[in-house]
Structure 1
Amino acid sequence: MNIGELRNRIEIQNYIRTPNEVGEEVKQWQTYIKLWAKFETSLVKEQVQAGKNSESVVHEIVIRYRNDLDSTMRVVYKGNNYNINHVVNDQEQNIETHLFCTLIEEGVYNE
């Protein structure tokens, strides 16, 4: 891994549930960690859903190795939110982690 390629600042968020002032459970995203990363658009996936063709762009985000991230989290980069679809330990070498993500479209509810 060339550390100089990690020039994009990303934020990893996790989803937490906390009680509000009247004791009701409130769900919200919270910053888990901020990291330097290499952010790339890697491929376009075409699929058919409900009889309609759709495309989704998969972004590959490379960071230093971490074993505490999973697909329940999301990435925030330049004001956009991305679902983490897959977390991959590159070649199981514990050197770098690849996050394969898709953009969360504005106006689409996502838990």
Structure 2
Amino acid sequence: MQIGQLNDRIEIEELTEEIDPSGGRTPTWALYGKRWAFIRFSTATEAFRLGQQAVEQLVKFTIHRDTGVTESMRVVFDSVAYSITSVVSAPRGLFTELTAIVKQKT
């Protein structure tokens, strides 16, 4: 992998709490950061659940090393939110690989 291959712009978001004027807490996604990424679309599966067809797409995002990214975050690419399921960084490597999944009803 070379730095020049990171040619797609993604956003990484983290779940935070927003406090409304009455003091209530609302979970909301906030921008953690924008990163350049190399994207590989992997397997997609279709299933019928509760009478609806659902598609799950597995995607791998490779970014410049970032030890702050966790599985509780999500990636947004091309207006689609992907839940991060795995974060792997080599101990001395230059890159972090994020495995993420998106579930869509069709």
TM-score normalized by structure 1?
A: 0.80
Cα distance in 2 between the residues matched to 1:22 and 1:96: 43
Residue 5 of structure 2 is matched in structure 1 by 5
Residue 21 of structure 2 is matched in structure 1 by 21
Distance 1:43 1:84, change over 3 A: same
Q: How many aligned residue pairs are there?
A: 102
- 5+ long unaligned stretches in structure 2: none
Cα distance in 2 between the residues matched to 1:23 and 1:75: 29
Distance 1:93 1:45, change over 3 A: farther
Residue 88 of structure 2 is matched in structure 1 by 88
- Identity between Structure 1 and Structure 2 (%): 27
Letter in 2 for 1:41: F
Distance 1:20 1:40, change over 3 A: same
RMSD: 2.3
TM-score normalized by structure 2?
A: 0.83
- 5+ long unaligned stretches in structure 1: 107-111
